[in-house]
Structure 1
Amino acid sequence: MTAKVSASDIRASFSGAMSAMYRDEVPAYGTLMDLVARVNDETLAGQPELKARLEATDTLERISEERHGAIRLGTAEELATMRRIFAVMGMFPVGYYDLSTAGVPVHSTAFRPVGEEALKRNPFRVFTSLLRLDLIADEALRDEAKAILAERQIFTDGAIALTEKSENEGGLDSHDAARFVSEVLETFRWHDKANVSLAMYHRLHDAHRLIADVVSFKGPHINHLTPRTLDIDKVQALMPDYDIAPKAVVEGPPTRKCPILLRQTSFKALEETVSFHDGKGGWQAGTHTARFGEIEQRGVALTPKGRALYDALLDNTRKLVRPAADGSNAVAYEAALIETFKAFPDDWAAIRSAGLGYFTYSLTEKGVAAGSASGDIESLIAEGFVRFDPIVYEDFLPVSAAGIFQSNLGDGAQQDFVASPNQKRFEADLGAAVLNEFDHYEGIEKASLEACLDALQTRAAAE
């Protein structure tokens, strides 16, 4: 029997191919990668304790390979098929995000690997949004958009066939895996010819720029790829030196000694030349703005208690100063954010003891050398037998995602939609339940704690 390629290896190949394609399509992405690599190298050189922690948790290697992408789909059928394709790569839907609360007519999930080893091998994620046509007020436009989407096929026949083969045979051999990556890549490729007339594009655009982006094209072109930096403030400050104009405000929590959740920034979306149907069998020139560059810095995953505190503090900040899309009040917003977030502990021990974040537990050198040790976890930590390390937040933040979307859709894109989370409908369209991120992180923490205690207790029993 021919050996099957692991899902993680297929995912790594696809992530690399996607990055190469996007670098060709959007040269500024390559510049961004160079900047992030420089900042990460300088950060590790200047913070040996951070480098040591990343090495101790076997996560240093993944930083340079880490990416997340984002796509926007138009139909339930597209979403369900995308779920099957990502499953071949070992990527599964985690979390439900309702962006209608922030004026963006989509709801979303993140496809990503979920096991520790899979994440270390390649932590590629794709934030995947489904257009909410039900939120379009114009009923006639809603019906026309639905008809346009019904006529397109965003997946190649080869991608569908190889997905079915993987499902039926429990994986793909090296030849088929390479073909699979090549075929699926076509779904994410940029197309400069629209599926609609310029007049229809403007009608969709007037309803919401994101609606025009989803409905008007042959496929859900990847609209950004995001590398992970260890110092997003430094990247933000250096972007102009690389002829990249950053968005005015970094989304997420403020600068901290102990990073929490997710911070993101980006550069403005490109205005690109696009051809539209002219109604006479020819083409009419126009432009479209969709693809941009984004950078992220990841911190500790928060417990429900920690997330509730984060959400409350962010909400309090925005009651004081709501960041303007044009950045005119960026300084005031950042000052308010820093002041408000003083209520969130900025020390790993304090975050852990308050039950605000998730941590993994492992034996220290002293713990490994010890014949045995007894006591509860707090005493074992205090005596130096066990260490704790923050679990990286692998997911996303709805307000931050919407902020990135809005800043790249343009200053006039902010629109109000009735907040209408509908996870049940989303999961029905997806064809599966999404994984609850809190349950997932709690399971990782619990397993690591039990492994430590079992190791020490097994030695004690053997003596």
Structure 2
Amino acid sequence: MTMHAQVKPGRISSMKVHADEIRSLFSNAMSQMYRAEVPRYGTLIELVTEVNAATLANAPELEQALRRKDELDRLGVERHGAIRLGTPEELFNIRRVFAVLGMHPVGYYDLSVAGVPVHSTAFRPIADEALRRNPFRVFTSLLRLELIEDQALRKMAAGILSDRQIFTARALELVEVFEAEGGFEQADSEEFVREVLETFRWHSDATVTLATYNKLHGTHRLIADVVSFRGPHINHLTPRTLDINAVQVGMPKRGIMPKAVIEGPPRRKCPILLRQTSFKALEERIEFEAADGGLVEGRHTARFGEIEQRGVALTAKGRKLYDKLLASVRRDVRVGASGSHAGAYESQLTERFKEFPDSWSALREQGLAYFRYSPTREGLANVAQERISASVDELVARGYLHFDPIIYEDFLPVSAAGIFQSNLGADEQQNYSERSNREAFEQGLGAKVANELDLYAKAQQDSIKDALAQLSKAAGKIP
């Protein structure tokens, strides 16, 4: 351990900054940096803020539900970002960095089946209270060099990646301090945010020659993006909207052209999972190394804008039905890069998803989605001791228990691949055979990824346990 990382006398007993606060510091700093780098991001934030305000004004029941669940405040700060890493070592250290922010790896996503040579996880808070405070997420992908068929190019890419260090020395020293002391004081928290922000900063100079870049680009645009730069620049930050269709319509009015179709399920009265739209990546001026040691100008596309609308988390049964319906539409209607067949795709999506129940009661009764339970005022006022043994369904029917949808906090591999392809300016359908390698991913990560369905099931069960305990306590006070 370096001298910087040594534990100083007296620091262990000092007041530590909560991980939720450090995460908020970091997400705010990231948002400010990205807004300065990509002005259109600021335009998207303004649009989403206006749409959310109008949606809440026109839907008081939605506003009341969000307020009841203590989720109204998170709308203004909610973001997710995305980065692409090149080596298992980078993945290992980014896990350590995100642990400081109270973010943990959830879910394994194999995007190679959709023609994107990466596998991924989402770093995010897990506890309900942490999600309410700031549900910042980073979708983190690791390049799969083994999927590059050209052995010489694969070896060259591996050599380039092995020579880079995406973290500042001080950032890694501070991670050691955190791991040794179990937390940060305020000054260290602020310094940590400044140092780690450098990992995600945009650089307009490449670390390779234009010829090398073109070789990598010819194999896959994403490979060129990962290998050709000194670090995993944040390629988008995504605000959450309550009405993504309104945002889709509003983007062209602000000079921003969205992708042809919204990824995910169709518009519904009861939103499920995740819907996403975006605008194509910016073409940016890049300086490449020249053979004579000088610089040569080129172009690269990487950073784009994205918006999301989140719905209820689905159970395994619900996901099976969702996957079946979505796959049938994607099989029968293919949307071209220019947006051809977009209308037919959206029409078929809406038609086929009529098979998916669109009421909270039906979703709950059929076991298709996860819900958070709480006692109603009527339940607390009228419950009798013997009624506590009633089933959850009976208590809901009597009006003693209320249920609210649990927000889906994760991602969808098909949607993620669709966003990747669209914003790389491609309609590539190159097919890597399905070679999911979760074991190798977790080995590089240095940890197991959590199963998102287990987390939602636990949240639901914990809420039931707490609600029944409150009813039981109220029953004991009733004469």
Query: TM-score, normalized by length of structure 1?
Result: 0.99
Other structure's SS at 1:82 match: helix
Amino acid at match of 1:36: V
Contact 2:89 2:444 in 1 (8 A): yes
Output one character per residue of 1:416-456: Cα deviation in whole Å (capped at 9) or x when no partner. 21221111111001000000001110000000011111222
Distance 1:75 1:93 in 2: 17
Instruction: Report the counterpart of residue 74 of structure 1 in structure 2.
Output: 86
Distance 1:32 1:186 in 2: 24
Q: How far did 1:411 drift?
A: 2.8
Does residue 468 of structure 2 align to residue 456 of structure 1? no
Instruction: Report the counterpart of residue 437 of structure 2 in structure 1.
Output: 422
Instruction: Report the counterpart of residue 232 of structure 1 in structure 2.
Output: 244
Instruction: Report the counterpart of residue 355 of structure 2 in structure 1.
Output: 343
Output one character per residue of 1:281-311: Cα deviation in whole Å (capped at 9) or x when no partner. 2110001000000000000000000000000
Distance 1:192 1:332 in 2: 40
Distance 2:15 2:97 in 1: 20
Distance 1:412 1:316 in 2: 19
Instruction: Report the counterpart of residue 241 of structure 1 in structure 2.
Output: 253
Distance 2:366 2:51 in 1: 32
Other structure's SS at 1:313 match: helix
Instruction: Report the counterpart of residue 211 of structure 2 in structure 1.
Output: 199
Contact 2:380 2:475 in 1 (8 A): no
Instruction: Report the counterpart of residue 395 of structure 2 in structure 1.
Output: 380
Does residue 280 of structure 2 align to residue 268 of structure 1? yes
Match of 1:222 among 234, 240, 246: 234
Other structure's SS at 2:73 match: helix
Instruction: Report the counterpart of residue 30 of structure 1 in structure 2.
Output: 42
Other structure's SS at 1:395 match: coil
Contact 1:209 1:413 in 2 (8 A): no
Distance 1:395 1:62 in 2: 16
Instruction: Report the counterpart of residue 369 of structure 1 in structure 2.
Output: 381
Match of 1:401 among 393, 412, 416: 416
Match of 1:280 among 279, 292, 300: 292
Distance 1:333 1:412 in 2: 16
Instruction: Report the counterpart of residue 18 of structure 2 in structure 1.
Output: 6
Contact 1:40 1:230 in 2 (8 A): yes
Other structure's SS at 1:196 match: strand
Instruction: Report the counterpart of residue 440 of structure 1 in structure 2.
Output: 455
Q: How far did 1:415 drift?
A: 2.0
Q: How far did 1:368 drift?
A: 2.9
Output one character per residue of 1:78-112: Cα deviation in whole Å (capped at 9) or x when no partner. 00000000000000000000000100000000000
Contact 1:226 1:294 in 2 (8 A): yes
Contact 2:381 2:474 in 1 (8 A): no
Distance 2:137 2:331 in 1: 32
Output one character per residue of 1:238-282: Cα deviation in whole Å (capped at 9) or x when no partner. 100111110000000000000000000001100000000002221
Distance 1:90 1:261 in 2: 23
Instruction: Report the counterpart of residue 56 of structure 2 in structure 1.
Output: 44
- Identity value in percent: 61
CA root-mean-square deviation: 1.0
| Moved >6 Å (runs of 4+) | none
Distance 2:476 2:236 in 1: 54
Amino acid at match of 1:451: D
Amino acid at match of 2:453: F
What is the count of residue pairs matched by the alignment?
Answer: 463
Instruction: Report the counterpart of residue 145 of structure 2 in structure 1.
Output: 133
Unaligned stretches of 5+ residues in structure 1: none
Distance 1:113 1:227 in 2: 17
Instruction: Report the counterpart of residue 5 of structure 2 in structure 1.
Output: none
Unaligned stretches of 5+ residues in structure 2: 1-12
Query: TM-score, normalized by length of structure 2?
Result: 0.95
Does residue 177 of structure 2 align to residue 157 of structure 1? no
Does residue 102 of structure 2 align to residue 87 of structure 1? no
Other structure's SS at 2:95 match: helix
222-231 vs 420-429, which moves further = 420-429
Contact 1:326 1:411 in 2 (8 A): no
Q: How far did 1:412 drift?
A: 4.7
